[in-house]
Amino acid sequence: MSNAKEKKYARRMRNQPSNVSFDQGDRTPQGYGRGYFPQQRGGTSGQQQRGPHHSQGPHTGGGRGRGDFNEGPQIPKYITASMFAQARAAEINAMVKAVSQKSSNSLVFQSLPRHMRRRAMGHDIKRLPRRLREIAKREMEKSVHQKKEQSKSKCRKARRRHGNLQLEFNRRQRKNIWLETHIWFTKRFHMVKKWGYCLAERPTMKSYRACYRAMSNHCLLQDLSYLCCVEVTGKEEELLKALSRLCSIETGPTFAAVPCLSGRRQGSLILYKADKYPDEALGPVDFIWKPKSIPESSCEIRQLWIWMHPALKQDILKELRLVCVCEDRPDNAVYTPSLPADPPQEEKPATVKKAGKKRKMQDKEGEKAVPVKKIIGDGTRDCPDPYQWTSTQTSITIRDLTMEIVRYRLVGPLSNCVLNDALHPAPVHKKTEDRGPHSWWEDYSQHSDNLLHDQQSSLFHLLQGITSPAQIPPGTVLGLTVGDPRVNLPKKRTKSVPNLQQYEGVLWHKNMITLRMPADLFYTHLDIT
């Protein structure tokens, strides 16, 4: 056979099964019997092909002539199905396994032509053709249940993070104190350092229209914790006598105004230097009197909280100490931590550190490390400065409560609804329950005769029916003990709306306007110690 015929024969037989073989002479398959009738590639003339073997089988075209066929192994007339399937079971299992296994790493929608692909096919099965939806569904379920392996090495941000964030934050706010909302503001505002604080100055994005919409339609929260608070404690007569030297009735209500003195309203006025009115004004302040625990008592010690701007704090404190006859000698002994003495160590040879590499701050002692400077109060005073003064003549005590009381301002028609959804009255503690860390509240709530907390809670729930804060007199004070708001956070953020079913209409609204509610409802358990 020539070389061309060999190549042609090889191309023709390349798809034949491996168990079929041919002899070199006649090219007859050994695995087939009478049913196989190949064409004869060569042979004698047509007369010789129509010889005695003509009747053994049908004729087929053999190129230029017709030839006879050689005898081969005969095919069995029947087979046993069970034995045949048992003999081919391994082959069938291998075939099923090969079909079920996925050989490629591409998804099912990637097997489609490019003109049929859509970007939404990766997460929306209905975008695929119907014949591929079941396969895509199985792939999606498999990817959901498949967990991502945890990386053994931490990311660079985690490696550079300080070991004790509390100590690191205290170190960073030694000169300028952070507010409670500092981390939230630093991500959204440009910060500025003023008056010993780190305050938000202007937003990094366009938010003026959003703030205006919140003030007009919903609620806007402002952090006023940077305002300094000073507590003045003493007898009511002594306090009014001393504070009258700093203000005048000609400018409006003073510290002795009846609604403010009872603790029902918050007052505002302008302070002047002692006996210098109308000259040498100090600045505006806000104040709140703590209601009396016994309404008719005249000898009870009263508490007055005064809020002022941090730029006015030192001047106002100086005048308050002057009119209250408080000495410069402080009553408190400020604790200054001292670092423990290091044990003597052997001198080690000096090693030169390589420059140009960032070194992470090491925290070898962890939480046991003593800070070099203890932070007390705020940035408007240093650590050694006093924060409490007592008069030996009038028994008046002045305390600096800056950064001890957090203060927020809510602006908008739905401010009351936001308060009702965020704050919930503290639950009354029962005797059968275990005592927790707040033992003072547990002791107070066990008294059956004390119904003040229930009355304050019912009044607080009625505020949810108010559609606008303008329905309440300005400056109204309501005392209430609430639980931890983080415990009652909703799982899904929702919008606060007024509940008109809680609003009891005319009678309650009339009592609010005329201020005929009992003075006990304004009492608070706030006591900074």
- For residue range 302-319, list pLDDT tens digits in order: 889 999 999 998 888 988
- pLDDT level of residue 263 (50, 70, 90 thresholds): confident
State how far the Cα of 47 lies from the Cα of 45, in Å rounded to an integer.
5
Neighbours of 368 (CB within 10 A): 7
How, if at all, do strands 228-235 and 220-223 pair? unpaired
**Mean pLDDT, to the nearest integer, of 514-520?**
55
* Run of H or E residues at 445: helix 439-445
Out of 18-32, 149-163, 275-289, give the one with best mean pLDDT: 275-289
The DSSP secondary-structure symbol of 96 reads: H
pLDDT of 360 > 50? The answer is: no
* Run of H or E residues at 303: strand 301-308
87 or 33, greater pLDDT:
87
Residue 306 has a pLDDT of 92
State how far the Cα of 467 lies from the Cα of 415, in Å rounded to an integer.
9
Residue 59 has a pLDDT of 47
* HSE, side-chain direction, 13 A CA sphere, residue 421: 18
pLDDT digits (tens, 9 = 90+) for 438-449: 565 666 666 654
Residue 432 has a pLDDT of 53
pLDDT of 334 > 80? The answer is: no
Tell me the helices (H) and strands (E) count for the chain, helix number first: 16, 10
pLDDT of 390 > 60? The answer is: yes
**Mean pLDDT, to the nearest integer, of 439-464?**
67
pLDDT digits (tens, 9 = 90+) for 174-188: 888 888 889 888 888
DSSP character string of 90-151 = HHHHHHHHHHHS----S-GGGGS-GGG--GGGGT-GGGS-HHHHHHHHHHHHHHHHPPPPPP
State how far the Cα of 159 lies from the Cα of 431, in Å rounded to an integer.
49
pLDDT of 38 > 60? The answer is: no
State how far the Cα of 351 lies from the Cα of 347, in Å rounded to an integer.
12
Neighbours of 519 (CB within 10 A): 13
Q: In which residue are the tokens 């994005």 written?
A: 205
Enter the tokens of residue 522: 């304004």
Residue 299 has a pLDDT of 65
pLDDT of 339 > 70? The answer is: no
494 or 511, greater pLDDT:
494
Q: Is 242 left (phi over 0), alpha (psi -120 to 50) or beta?
A: alpha
Specify the pTM.
Answer: 0.58
Enter the tokens of residue 312: 């006015």
Task: Provide the b/e sequence for 186-217 (b: ≥16 CB within 10 Å).
Answer: eeebebeeebbbbbbeeeeeeeeeeeeebeee
- pLDDT level of residue 251 (50, 70, 90 thresholds): confident
**Mean pLDDT, to the nearest integer, of 262-273?**
87
State how far the Cα of 399 lies from the Cα of 196, in Å rounded to an integer.
19
Enter the tokens of residue 293: 């625990």
Residue 52 has a pLDDT of 43
pLDDT of 138 > 60? The answer is: yes
Q: Where are the alpha helices (DSSP H) in 258-304?
A: 258-261
CA dihedral 41, 42, 47, 53 (to 10 degrees): -60
The DSSP secondary-structure symbol of 487 reads: T
Residue 493 has a pLDDT of 82
**First-residue to last-residue Cα distance in the chain:** 113
The overall average pLDDT reported for the chain is 73
With CA atoms as reference, report the closest residue to 68 among 47, 49, 43, 46.
Answer: 49
**Mean pLDDT, to the nearest integer, of 494-521?**
60
Contacts of 5 (CB under 8 A, 6+ apart): 41
pLDDT digits (tens, 9 = 90+) for 95-119: 888 877 766 677 787 888 888 888 7
State how far the Cα of 179 lies from the Cα of 403, in Å rounded to an integer.
8
- pLDDT level of residue 284 (50, 70, 90 thresholds): very high
Share of the chain above pLDDT 90, in %: 4
- pLDDT level of residue 72 (50, 70, 90 thresholds): low
Residue 504 has a pLDDT of 54
Q: Exposure of 86 by Cβ count < 10 A (0-12 exposed, 13-18 middle, 19+ buried)?
A: exposed
Q: Exposure of 493 by Cβ count < 10 A (0-12 exposed, 13-18 middle, 19+ buried)?
A: exposed
pLDDT of 73 > 70? The answer is: yes
**Mean pLDDT, to the nearest integer, of 257-280?**
86
Residue 190 has a pLDDT of 92
- pLDDT level of residue 505 (50, 70, 90 thresholds): low
Query: With DSSP H G I counted as helix, E B as strand and the rest as coil, what are the percentages for the chain, rounded to 5?
Result: 35, 15, 55
Among 184-193, 222-231, 366-375, the least confident range: 366-375
Among 97-101, 222-226, 328-332, 389-393, the least confident range: 328-332
